[in-house]
Amino acid sequence: MKQSRKGAPGALLTNANVLDYLPPQMNAAPDPRVEIADLRIAGGRIIERGRGLAPHEGEEVRDLGGRTVMPGLINAHHHLYSTLAPGMPPPANTPRSFQDVLTEIWWKLDRALDPEAIRISAVSGAWDSLRCGTTLIFDHHSSLTSVGGSLDLVEQGLREAGVRGCLCYEVTDRGGPGSRDTCLEETRRYLQKTAAPGDGVPAHSVPWFKGLVGAHAGFTLEDGTLDSLAALCTEFDTGVHMHLAEGSTDREICKDRGWPDPLERLDRHGLIRPRSLLAHGVDLTPLDLQTIEEKGAWLVHNGRSNMNNGVGRAPVDRFPPRSCLGTDGLDGNMFGELRTTFYRGNETGRGPLGFHGAERFWIGGYQLAREIFGEPFGSLDAGAPADFLIGCEDQKQPLHQGNWLSLLLFGMQPRLIQEVWVDGAPRYRRGDPAPYDGQACRAAAQRIWDRMANL
């Protein structure tokens, strides 16, 4: 395992039952397919796909005996900083609204984080995700008393786990102008760092990390800050990753402040644009959804988080074509997220979302990754990143062209994953020890919980 983490010369996986969703051409329409194939892997990519491929000298050859291989999962909206939250003492004042949930829980947690807690939250949360088959996380980070360098700590944690990341810092005005400027500076620093391959990284390799401009939500951002965010998007030719209309709070605060409605306000400031990633989108009008579609921005559905926070039901059946799924910090289980999205669509009568909707949201994650990374994620053909999971030998039902979505919705569980590969090497094999010290992790959790009690 240790040796392969550093990168083996190459591998040939034979007799894989391969599911993939998109052709390798970057702008191709989804075309899910299942077929038995051999995959040759080198330099972090799949370099050949076919039947009966002959081994090359020095190549590690493994016969998968028909086991399932599918692209690593994409989590389009996560908060690794919240990894240590489960089990924390309840807040002194019981939250009665979504705003209370923010002020009593999350805005205390993100102030309690220290650098070591940020790193260990990232590595332990990324490890959870990896074991559930996720190989790329779009993370939305906040640590208001440890802002400078915090994205490097998140990156370090992801590297230790072996998971790719698209990172950003949640810029906000809730700490005052000085704090906001520190958030903007961290954003700029990380965008500069990830704009080009690092020293010694071959130009043709698949990037492990990308950056986005990050922001909390419109209702904690002043107009001038929105302008600064838009300027960063333009300067780095990218989009903003932020919360939008997570329940009615966004709209209510806009009304109180005399601002336009949330989506309109962001649009006026130039933030609804290609590569922008808007999480939740619960309280949006049909016109808002049309604007998001026309401007080419992405909407991320976080069904389980919406249910947990009681913010309402997102109009998922009207979400634009650029839509995908994220866990919003709840856990790393994207199969669970997909399943909940589908169940929720059926809850009040089968219909509005259906199989097609679930497929669209699932494949959307790969299309988002393509847009941000410029790499053919979602394909397991020659040229694609070698990011995939291998199923167990004891998988109960056969996987074929006609049932892949049904198996994902009703059959796939993290416990059916045997291995997860990222960048052409296994980063997780069932039974591997965790890449962090559990005792140190629990100590970090207790430390931040204790701190939270005094905030």
The contact set with Zn ion (CB under 5 A) reads 279, 328
CB of 110 or CB of 328, closer to Zn ion: 328
- Identify residue 196 by its one-letter amino acid code: A
CB of 132 or CB of 279, closer to Zn ion: 279
> Smallest gap, in angstroms, from Cβ of residue 79 to Zn ion?
6
Q: Of the candidates 263, 275, 281, which has an alpha carbon nearest to the alpha carbon of residue 319?
A: 281
Per the CB < 8 A criterion, the answer to whether 191 and 238 are in contact is yes
CB of 76 or CB of 448, closer to Zn ion: 76
> Smallest gap, in angstroms, from Cβ of residue 368 to Zn ion?
15
> Smallest gap, in angstroms, from Cβ of residue 105 to Zn ion?
13
Q: What is the CA radius of gyration of the chain?
A: 21
CB of 213 or CB of 417, closer to Zn ion: 213
* Strand order through the sheet with 298-301: 213-217, 240-244, 277-280, 298-301, 323-325
> Smallest gap, in angstroms, from Cβ of residue 329 to Zn ion?
6
What distances in angstroms separate CA 267 from CA 245, 301, 318, 344, one per listed residue? 13, 20, 19, 30
> Smallest gap, in angstroms, from Cβ of residue 281 to Zn ion?
12
CB of 14 or CB of 121, closer to Zn ion: 121
Two tokens, residue 183: 């958030």
> Smallest gap, in angstroms, from Cβ of residue 73 to Zn ion?
18
CB of 165 or CB of 426, closer to Zn ion: 165
CB of 12 or CB of 212, closer to Zn ion: 212
Residues 6+ positions from 27 with CB-CB distance below 8 Å? none
Query: Which residue's C-beta sits nearest to Zn ion?
Result: 328
> Smallest gap, in angstroms, from Cβ of residue 32 to Zn ion?
28
d(CA 451, CA 82): 15
Annotate 52-71 with b (16+ C-beta within 10 A) or e (fewer).
Answer: ebeeeeebeeeebeebbbbb
**How many C-beta atoms lie closer than 10 Å to residue 319's C-beta?**
24
Per the CB < 8 A criterion, the answer to whether 167 and 155 are in contact is yes
Residues in the chain: 455
What secondary structure, in 3-state letters, does 271-327 show? CCCCCCEEEECCCCCHHHHHHHHHHCCEEEECHHHHHHHCCCCCCHHHCCCCEEECC
> Smallest gap, in angstroms, from Cβ of residue 243 to Zn ion?
5
> Smallest gap, in angstroms, from Cβ of residue 251 to Zn ion?
18
CB of 12 or CB of 279, closer to Zn ion: 279
Two tokens, residue 153: 């700590």
CB of 101 or CB of 353, closer to Zn ion: 101
> Smallest gap, in angstroms, from Cβ of residue 279 to Zn ion?
5
CB of 21 or CB of 319, closer to Zn ion: 319
- Identify residue 123 by its one-letter amino acid code: V
**How many C-beta atoms lie closer than 10 Å to residue 2's C-beta?**
5
